[in-house]
Chains A and B, each alone.
Chain A
Amino acid sequence: MRIEPVFLVAPRTPASDVSRRSFLLVGATFACGVSFGGACVFASGGARLPDDALAPTGDAELDQLRRLAIDGSDAQLVQHRLLLVSWTFSHYCHDAALWRGIGRLCDLVIADAAFPDRSRFARALAGVIERAEVPVAAPLQQRAQALRSVR
């Protein structure tokens, strides 16, 4: 019996679907998404909040102010606006959650012509933002000019 040599040739593999073009397309889409999302966060005036932004801190006043700033309704925020802003600059100027609430107040006072004591509050808020020397308030700096033009 004679054994004939058999040459096995692996089937030709089709070209990979992941071409350079599709890789670039996915990369560009991701980059656009990241920049657009970042711009939205920046425009909304909020520094990124940690996941435990509302976790108890052991400071009952801070916890309550944080809940107001993040979870409070617009009406509650407006009602307690002086309390929130004054506590933020006087005691908790490094707290990102409270500055998020101040960002919400910026939006409300700029948009709502019926905001109580609108002009004075807007100028007071602008002063607080301009005086804030903390990184967490930096995204709001661009709102100060708009606040000063509120009449």
Chain B
Amino acid sequence: MSPQGGSGLRVIGPVVQGGTITVEVGSNDTTVYVSAGSAGETVSHAVVPGKTNQLPVPPVPGGTVLWLWVGKGLNRRVVLVEVLAP
């Protein structure tokens, strides 16, 4: 699977239920937000800037599309990624 996202945030490889999300973040980003699409289902993860990081996949059904983002204000960069059933 090709990386999804552009400058600042990229998801590498498939995202499988119960697995991890591999993300590459920009050099200024220290937090990645992962959400199933509501404020109550949004989790923030501290990450190492400029590196590849592993984030846990939230407990959602297969087929759910997750929203991942980094950045502040309207400079937020957002990526969509689908959770695959194992």
Contact = CB atoms under 8 A, between A and B. Distances in A.
Interface of A: 61, 64-65, 82-83, 85-87, 89-91, 93, 117, 120-121, 123-124, 127-128, 130-133
A86 B35 CA distance: 9
A130 B36 CA distance: 11
A63 to B, nearest CB: 11
Contacts of A123: 63, 65, 82
Contact of B39 (A64, A90, A120, A124): A90
Nearest to A93: B39
A64 B65 CA distance: 26
28 contacts: A61-B73, A64-B74, A65-B74, A82-B69, A82-B79, A86-B67, A86-B76, A86-B78, A87-B74, A89-B35, A89-B37, A89-B38, A89-B39, A89-B67, A90-B35, A120-B65, A120-B82, A123-B65, A124-B65, A124-B80, A127-B36, A127-B64, A128-B37, A130-B37, A131-B36, A131-B38, A131-B41, A133-B38
Nearest to B68: A86
Interface of B: 33, 35-39, 41-42, 63-65, 67, 69, 73-74, 76, 78-80, 82
Greatest chain A CB density within 10 A among B33, B73, B78 is at B78
B37 A124 contact: yes
Nearest to B75: A83
Contacts of B38: 89, 93, 128, 131-133
Contacts of B76: 83, 86-87
